[in-house]
Structure 1
Amino acid sequence: MALRLVRELGYEKVSVSEIIEQAGVARQTLYNRWNTKAYLVLEAVFERTNTYAAERSWDGAEDCRTLLEGFLIRIFEHLRIDGDTLRALITAVLRRAQDRGELSSGRNVETLSALIHGAFWYRLLNRGVLDAGFAKEIVAETFA
């Protein structure tokens, strides 16, 4: 429900109240499981990622070309549909950091978000290690 709303309206335009209303649950029910809208949406994206990337049957019925093609199509479709949501989540964290004075108000959060994504994809495409250490380096540079 939350992911559908975010896809339709955009992350910034969807309130927790709207999500609660659409889901038909009590506010406390939502907050018992997720502390913030960001955590709720991120979990929804990860759940959806699992369905897109789920391994197809390897029973030999399909040739490997067809298996790879289907896998890539599902992943690309997922990124097309939820890429904006993922970018919005990173931008939301950066905006929150600015609001709290943890990140200079002079920093452009859209550019920082693009740099974070660029670092991730560059490392991924060049077979670099994507681990906690790299995440910490990105964050250290972002907040430097």
Structure 2
Amino acid sequence: MTSRPILTLLILAALSLGADAASAQDRGSVNPKPLPPLANPNDPKLGAKELFARKVLPTATPTRVIGSYSKGCLAGAAQMPINGETWQVMRLSRNRNWGYPGMIALLKRLSVRAHKDAGWPGILVGDIAQPR
């Protein structure tokens, strides 16, 4: 049995499902609305992502990474400015334009270099991290 019919079926399924999913994507907003308060924020079964997503500013502590990419957070994050001469942050409503100060500086340098060396009009910055 060849994998060609299965691959074709998977591609068709992805295309048909993708059409509905694309229309439901959050297009973002320049003035994002905060998430509603939690009914019981002290519930031990409540996931950290529910708590952290409601924080719009970083902690007032020195910058440090806690944990790993998939199970971690960032304390004392720096914000990537929304617009620069050679970059623009996308999907502001997600509040994911925060990062380690070194990462923010790297993205700024990269965007200037890409503009200068490759002639790019600018880079679009998607998800870096949430403020905490």
> Same-fold call, TM > 0.5?
no
Which structure would you say has the larger Rg? 2
Structure with more of its chain in helix, by fraction: 1
Q: Which has the higher strand share?
A: 2
Q: So what's the TM-score if we normalise by structure 2?
A: 0.24
If asked which structure has higher relative contact order (CA below 8 Å, sep 6+), I would say 2
TM-score (norm 1): 0.22
